[in-house]
Structure 1
Amino acid sequence: MKGLIFCVFVIMMLTPARGEEEEQLEQLVESVVLEQEEEYLECFRCDLGFWDACYTTETNCSRGELCYTGRGRAADALDVKTLGCVKAEECDVETTVELFSNNTIFAMTKHCCDTPFCNSAQTLSGYTIGHLAVAFLTAWHLIEALT
């Protein structure tokens, strides 16, 4: 008889009360709903721009990423800019970047923000992009000729 009473007692202790069960279910539903409501951040993307000019497209960041505007300087003469998504730990950290296979390196710092399209940039026409490409190639050849 003592064994039966002990088993009943153990079962009662291990079985959650009805209120606790409902509370656990409610917490589970809330966490699933919050996860589904979490939207991916939308940002502008520009792989490489010069000065404040960047040809931008729209992109969706991965979970946990922020929008960023990266600013740097190549060869102490050319201001470069990138836009996009980045992990939070890469924000406000200066990194060096290899631009071409000829080891042209520039320092870049990514400044982050956390609202949709907060890394806005000017949009460029094809005409402006052409001028920028010519200016960049001219500067690149001049740098190569001096070294």
Structure 2
Amino acid sequence: MLGAAQGGEEEQLEQLMESMGFEKDEEFLECFRCDLGFWDACYTTETNCSAGERCYTGRGKAADTLDVKTLGCVKADECDVETSVQLFSNNTIFVMTKNCCNTPFCNSALKLPIATHVYLTVAFLTTWHLFEASTGSQ
């Protein structure tokens, strides 16, 4: 059983959290996390964001040629902001923009454009047709 002092402190904490926009039983957002990937290859794990954070997909270029990618959680004010990642002072490794979303696991792999599906279908049908033609003539 809580004493009067402990109950008062808990109530104050709840009021503070509510004033900051957090619900008492608020569930934290679940996102995919990848510390560093190249092109669309990224080893992902699942992570829980802290209060007020969103899922993000970060995309950038290293040395103006290598596509880099990161996934994870970030504070809302860091969304859609271009940042530089530096190894040593004044030595930029890559520039990245973090695009955010706020539903569970919304930072998954990007969907392929419809044109990519068409190209893959044509490539499959062509390969299948060539295979059928080569096996049918024997």
* Shorter-chain TM-score tier: 0.5 to 0.7
Kindly state the Cα deviation for residue 105 of structure 1 after the two structures are TM-superposed.
Answer: 1.5
Aligned to 2:102: 114
* Aligned-pair identity (%): 79
The answer to whether the 8 A contact 1:69-1:112 is kept is yes
Kindly state the Cα deviation for residue 38 of structure 1 after the two structures are TM-superposed.
Answer: 1.1
Aligned to 2:133: none
| 1:90 to 2:64 alignment | no
Question: In structure 2, how many angstroms separate the alpha carbons of the residues matched to 1:114 and 1:70?
Answer: 15
The answer to whether the 8 A contact 1:53-1:121 is kept is no
Question: In structure 2, how many angstroms separate the alpha carbons of the residues matched to 1:55 and 1:72?
Answer: 17
- Taking the TM superposition and a 5 Å limit, the aligned residue runs for 1:1-147 are 35-98=23-86, 103-121=91-109
Instruction: Note the residue ranges of structure 2 that are not aligned, 5 or more in a row.
Output: 1-13, 111-138
Question: In structure 1, how many angstroms separate the alpha carbons of the residues matched to 2:92 and 2:23?
Answer: 43
Query: Could you state the TM-score of these two structures normalised by the residue count of structure 2?
Result: 0.60
Question: In structure 2, how many angstroms separate the alpha carbons of the residues matched to 1:69 and 1:53?
Answer: 13
Letter in 2 for 1:108: M
Where is the helix percentage greater, Structure 1 or Structure 2?
1
After superposition, the Cα gap between the structure-2 partners of 1:78 and 1:100, relative to the gap in structure 1 and judged at 3 Å, is farther
Where is the strand percentage greater, Structure 1 or Structure 2?
2
Question: In structure 1, how many angstroms separate the alpha carbons of the residues matched to 2:77 and 2:104?
Answer: 19
Question: In structure 2, how many angstroms separate the alpha carbons of the residues matched to 1:104 and 1:64?
Answer: 29
Kindly state the Cα deviation for residue 99 of structure 1 after the two structures are TM-superposed.
Answer: 5.0
Look at both structures and tell me which one has the larger radius of gyration over its CA atoms. Answer: 1
Instruction: Note the residue ranges of structure 1 that are not aligned, 5 or more in a row.
Output: 1-27, 123-147
The answer to whether the 8 A contact 1:71-1:109 is kept is yes
User: Considering only aligned residues, what root-mean-square deviation do their CA atoms show, in Å?
Assistant: 2.7
Deviating 4+ runs (over 3 angstroms): none
Aligned to 2:131: none
Q: How many residues align?
A: 93
After superposition, the Cα gap between the structure-2 partners of 1:76 and 1:53, relative to the gap in structure 1 and judged at 3 Å, is same
